[in-house]
Structure 1
């Protein structure tokens, strides 16, 4: 859900970008956000128990797209349920059960299209689904970690530790956590919208230039977030004006209690205080010490912390304490984040993947190194992104094709430039020849991609591979590199 009404207000400062802006940088990914989007296309199979790997294909396709643009992905999955989100999770579970029952009823009545719409709202992302994706990512050399609780807090901690440079997500909570650069609505081509923390003060009608981090979090809480449902009748703009005027939780709550327009109970103060502390000090996993840590250093001198520790010395609402061995097993994907049971024994994925892998620090990472985890051959990346080969023979034939030899790869020498020049001269001679195949004549241009119009910018991605092949009139290679989706209902282990 995120923070209610925040993203539409921040739309004027959203910058249309392409992911190649973060080439050779580490970018964190909220794994569950991609799993939800991938499961949207196979909700019928997931809700009816039919084996499918379409959500896995969706995830891996976008990972390969990041690798194609030399972006170093760091995937973080959610862990156990946070106590502060118990009410939110209960509401979501009831909604899923309602739509699941409705979808099954429509399916029995042969209304499949309407049933699919219900299943899309009823689909539930499980830790086992995340585990299956993580096993494939580990074989690709991608850094994967399962947070002890919320992936948002874990990603924010990585940003605070300078482990990652930006975060790809669909959740506005990361703004309240204090992440500097957040990428929203990233498509399969790499286009998205960037919200930078430094531009928050430029929002018209919602001046945040003089807001502290505590004030921003307090505004998010009373407007409505995952940790607190918000105050009825109080939107994001009214919440901004109230926090701007009263600044602290005590004074804001006093105003709410003495204003007959708002229905606030005395026990809501404790809920707001816990929500504020959860945004500040939620427990995360420190991969360097291999144990739980606070999102930011805990200040026991903080009046709210001091008062809460009198009631709960362990501050369990920030995430119950977990033994070091258990939290390490959860982070590495060996143990179920909720039950602490082994996930490798009942796993149908690659049994050779071991959880003894270590975290790759950004300081030790070099994408030019031959041993780098992300240093894949550029030609293989292009092939994997657009069409997965069926066997090694097809891989060899496509990689050695003339078109692949003229692709601009990193560190290309003079020989590559020469071949590229010869190819261009050859194309200029054949430009007069009429095009054939691919269902269009030489006069009609290829169909353009849909443009997303913005107030300040227009997303217009550069020429893609299919358009380039069309411009060069290389019809045979165009047919070879057309994307063809994989067969549906294929088990993950390929059996």
Structure 2
């Protein structure tokens, strides 16, 4: 969801760019945002339990595009559910279940279009789906990390450590986290919109030039975000005016509490304070020391931190602290982020076997630096540092058509339609140019045509039965055209 109403007001400072602007630089990717986009096109299969890999094809196609323009991708997937998002996740789960039941009902009624629309809202992205994609990415030599909790916080931490130069996402939360450069709405060709933090002060009607990071986060919280539903009747512009005037959480809450226009409960201060700390101090994974750390250094002198520690000594609302071994397994993709169990997919090979002696993730087929055989990408060197260029790959791989399954009707109908066009041309040459005559020529051509025998041999009995829908069977075995405006077989 992100911050409600924030992206539309930032549209004037959105810069249309091409991803080639970040050539030879490392760019972070919110993996779940691409998984959601990829699952949108195969929602029917995912919601009905049909095996599909189209969401993986979507993801890999985008990664290949980045590699083509020498951009070094760093993919981060979401981990376990953050306690602060329990209310938001409950609402989303309820919504998905409602649309799933509605989609199944419409599917039984053969209302295909409406059913697919419901399934697109009901599709659920799981850690197993992320695991399957990550195995393909690791084989390509792509850096992949599973965040302990929110991928947004993990990407923000990578930006603060200067390990990535920008982030590709669809979530406006990264603005509240303080990421410098964010790329939104990136298409398959690499075109997108860039929002730079340095330009926030140029937004008309929303002066943010004198806003501190705490003020920007507080504005996002009272307007509505994933960690707090917001104050009813309070939009992003009104939230900006209030924070600009009162500046701190205590003074903003006092104003909202004493204003009859807004419905604020006493426990809302506690919820807003936790949301503010979650934006600042959420727990992330530090791959250098292989353990969980805070997003920014915890300030013990901060009165807010002191107050929250008195209520929760371990600050579990920032993400419960995990043992180092569990945190490593989750980050490397070996362990399920919620159950801590070894993730298994449909393949017979256990994903836990894809570890070397040091416990680092390796490709299930070959090491990262080894050249891929067959039709895969040829990776000659891994990306190990921020200054490294993109791995060299075979350019021809980008121009190979993806392998997709074709519907039976599309295989058979192509030669039939060519014959129909030929029959129409013959009718026109004979002077039969009326719409009715051409329509009859189409019917006649359908009755005369026979499907290609090589195609029929590849079809099942059920599929062959469907071919009758495409044939035109004349009444009483007659092969003549209809009488009105046409000719019979004797030329009368």
Provide the residue aligned with 1:366 in structure 2: 388
Tell which structure's C-alpha radius of gyration is larger: 2
Change (3 A) 1:349 1:205: farther
Q: Is the 8 A contact 1:106 1:114 kept in 2?
A: yes
Q: In the alignment, which residue of structure 2 is the partner of 1:385?
A: 398
Distance 2:297 2:91 in 1: 32
Instruction: Map 1:27-66; keep pairs closer than 5 Å.
Output: 27-66=27-66
Give the deviation of 1:376 after TM superposition: 1.9
Q: Which has the higher contact order (CA 8 A, sep 6+)?
A: 1
Do structure 1's residue 356 and structure 2's residue 360 form an aligned pair?
Answer: yes
Alignment of 1:54-453 (within 5 A): 54-344=54-344, 353-354=354-355, 356-357=360-361, 363=385, 365-367=387-389, 374-377=390-393, 380=394, 382-387=395-400
Shift of 1:356: 1.6
Q: Distance in 1 between the 2:173 and 2:180 partners? A: 12
- How far does residue 214 in structure 1 lie from its aligned partner after superposition? 0.0
Per the TM alignment, residue 17 of structure 1 is displaced from its structure 2 partner at its CA by: 0.0
Which deviations, in whole Å up to 9, do the C-alpha atoms of 1:270-298 show, x marking residues without a partner?
00000000000000000000000000000
Question: What secondary structure, in the 3-state scheme, does the structure 1 residue paired with 2:327 have?
Answer: helix
State the distance in 1 between where 2:386 and 2:23 align: 17
Root-mean-square deviation (Å): 1.7
Would you identify which runs of 4 or more consecutive aligned residues in structure 1 move more than 3 Å? 344-355, 357-365
- TM-score w.r.t. the length of structure 1 is 0.75
Contact 2:26–2:386 (CA under 8 A) maintained in structure 1:
no
State the Cα deviation string for residues 177-217 of structure 1 (Å, max 9, x = none). 00000000000000000000000000000000000000000
Query: C-alpha displacement at 1:389, in angstroms?
Result: 8.0
Check whether the contact 1:132–1:349 (CA below 8 A) recurs between aligned residues. no
Length, aligned pairs only: 381
Question: Do 1:334 and 1:344's aligned partners in 2 also have CA atoms closer than 8 Å?
Answer: no
For 1:397, the equivalent position in structure 2 comes to none
TM-score where L is the length of structure 2: 0.75
Instruction: Name the SS for the 2:76 alignment partner.
Output: strand
Query: Secondary structure of 1:255's match?
Result: helix
Alignment correspondent of 1:7: 7
Q: What SS does structure 1 have at the residue aligned with 2:176? A: helix
Q: Deviations over 1:67-97 (max 9, x none)?
A: 0000000000000000000000000000000
Deviation at 1:384, TM superposition (A): 2.3
1:120 and 1:114 map into 2 onto residues whose CA distance is 10
Which whole-Å CA distance do the structure 1 matches of 2:149 and 2:281 have between them? 12
Aligned-residue offset at 1:363:
3.9
Q: Is the 8 A contact 2:24 2:387 kept in 1?
A: no
Secondary structure of 1:375's counterpart equals coil
Cα distance in 1 for residues equivalent to 2:76 and 2:386: 20
CA contact (8 A) 1:139 1:353 kept: no
Q: Deviations over 1:412-460 (max 9, x none)?
A: xxxxxxxxxxxxxxxxxxxxxxxxxxxxxxxxxxxxxxxxxxxxxxxxx
The verdict on how the C-alpha distance between 1:349 and 1:215 changes in structure 2, with shifts beyond 3 A counting, is farther
Q: How far apart in 2 are the matches of 1:25 and 1:306?
A: 40
In structure 2, C-alpha distance between the alignment counterparts of 1:116 and 1:156, rounded to whole Å: 35
Q: 1:364 to 1:187 in 2, by over 3 A?
A: closer
- Does the CA contact (< 8 Å) of 2:164 and 2:386 recur in 1? no
